[in-house]
Structure 1
């Protein structure tokens, strides 16, 4: 038994497939093996049949792969689609900020309670220096920007529709259902801070749910739950 194992090990040393790697790019990514942000090398390779350690016959291309500079694990290039920890934090912060602005734009900024609730949510998301006054000024600036602020006078609503989709859709694939629901509920709490949902606020929150890839019935259920709790 031991002799057979030694023979196999000797054969593995005598011949096999070797890959010569070539680095074609680098950067930072989230390494699932390490569990954090790491530098990576994007690499392609050429396979060759080797005899006695000498590469001889070509056996095709290898890769491209993403190689972690720390643990040297190889991943498919789809690993680069996962945001780094710092990038993810920024995406989440921007998402909460955009939702807060959209809800305030829909419901108006005359309620100090609603504005303060929005400012608290934005600060908790990472904009530590955000103030209620800053949010009011942003809403007013957006209202004057007809290219971004999309009023619907007929329904009495107002929505930052473009910004909502741009901020939420790239984030939603990387959030568990509970995380996506949490963002919607934060918007609901802002809307309910000064009373029941207005039609415009309801419209904005429905847009938020859609951009977060929540089912329509789940969005309705969450908004109703928030209303009963408030």
Structure 2
């Protein structure tokens, strides 16, 4: 499917007074793909067409000499604005919401696994954070069942064991552990699409879970430091936020 999208030319009038292109360059476009993306002009999720274009030298309205290909574009099907193909790297609103839910859910599980699930305030804080992120039907039993599954699934999280305090020990001092990898996989793709305040807010949510039953234990602090790194927060900012959360805890 081709359509003329732009013409750079000199015009004249024919004997009947109609506009006639004398000489110029015309770009014709061809659609090579489609999908859904976040349109910054519309401010929401829209359908798009991915298009390639070719310029041609025209005389008297007739395309003659090819002038080469132009950079592919993404065209919004609603407002018809053109964007570079990097616009497809921005998640849609639906995708962004799903990424945020998964990030908070993974972080909450990691903190519970590190600090233990015996204290009800910790469980309630974790449920509240996960529900606020979008899992409205989350409850304590669901989180406890997932923690038990993590403990049993040694293939997924090798080396997991129960410590003396009942918490799961994943060897969090080693940044190459599977738990740290899972946190990075859930949080790193989200970080570029969040403002600094948004990234700090996620870390604070995790910190409030950890301090719901008192001071951070070493494993909880290690998880939260991993969260800070995955969110591209500098160590000083992470330390500041953890201190602020501990002072604000009852």
1:44 touches 1:64 (CA, 8 Å); kept in 2? Answer: yes
Aligned residue in 1 for 2:90: 82
- The DSSP-based 3-state class of the residue aligned with 2:213 is coil
Aligned residue in 2 for 1:166: 185
Aligned residue in 1 for 2:149: 141
Q: Within 2, Cα distance between the matches of 1:177 and 1:148? A: 31
Aligned residue in 2 for 1:106: 114
Q: Within 1, Cα distance between the matches of 2:65 and 2:124? A: 70
1:157 touches 1:201 (CA, 8 Å); kept in 2? Answer: no
Q: Within 2, Cα distance between the matches of 1:77 and 1:107? A: 44
Cα deviation code 1:64-109 (max 9, x no counterpart)? 1111111111111100000000000110111111110000000011
Aligned residue in 2 for 1:97: 105
Superposition deviation, residue 194 in structure 1: 0.6
Q: Within 2, Cα distance between the matches of 1:162 and 1:94? A: 14
Superposition deviation, residue 222 in structure 1: 0.5
Higher relative contact order by CA 8 Å / sep ≥ 6: 1 or 2?
Answer: 1
Aligned residue in 2 for 1:220: 239
Q: Within 2, Cα distance between the matches of 1:130 and 1:202? A: 24
Change (3 A) 1:9 1:54: closer
1:157 touches 1:203 (CA, 8 Å); kept in 2? Answer: no
Task: Point out where structure 1 has 5 or more consecutive residues left out of the alignment.
Answer: 1-7
Counterpart of 1:52 (choices 31, 56, 60) is 60
Q: Within 2, Cα distance between the matches of 1:91 and 1:217? A: 26
Superposition deviation, residue 19 in structure 1: 1.1
Q: Within 1, Cα distance between the matches of 2:119 and 2:23? A: 77
Q: Within 2, Cα distance between the matches of 1:196 and 1:175? A: 28
Over aligned residues, Cα RMSD in angstroms?
Answer: 1.9
2:50 touches 2:73 (CA, 8 Å); kept in 1? Answer: yes
Superposition deviation, residue 146 in structure 1: 1.7
TM-score w.r.t. the length of structure 1 is 0.91
Paired residues, number: 222
Counterpart of 2:200 (choices 181, 189, 213) is 181
TM-score w.r.t. the length of structure 2 is 0.84
Cα deviation code 1:117-141 (max 9, x no counterpart)? 1001101110000001100110110
- The DSSP-based 3-state class of the residue aligned with 1:193 is helix
Aligned residue in 2 for 1:117: 125
Task: Point out where structure 2 has 5 or more consecutive residues left out of the alignment.
Answer: 1-9, 14-19, 173-178
Aligned residue in 2 for 1:211: 230
Counterpart of 1:68 (choices 76, 82, 99) is 76
Matched, 1:42 2:61: no
Q: Within 2, Cα distance between the matches of 1:17 and 1:35? A: 33
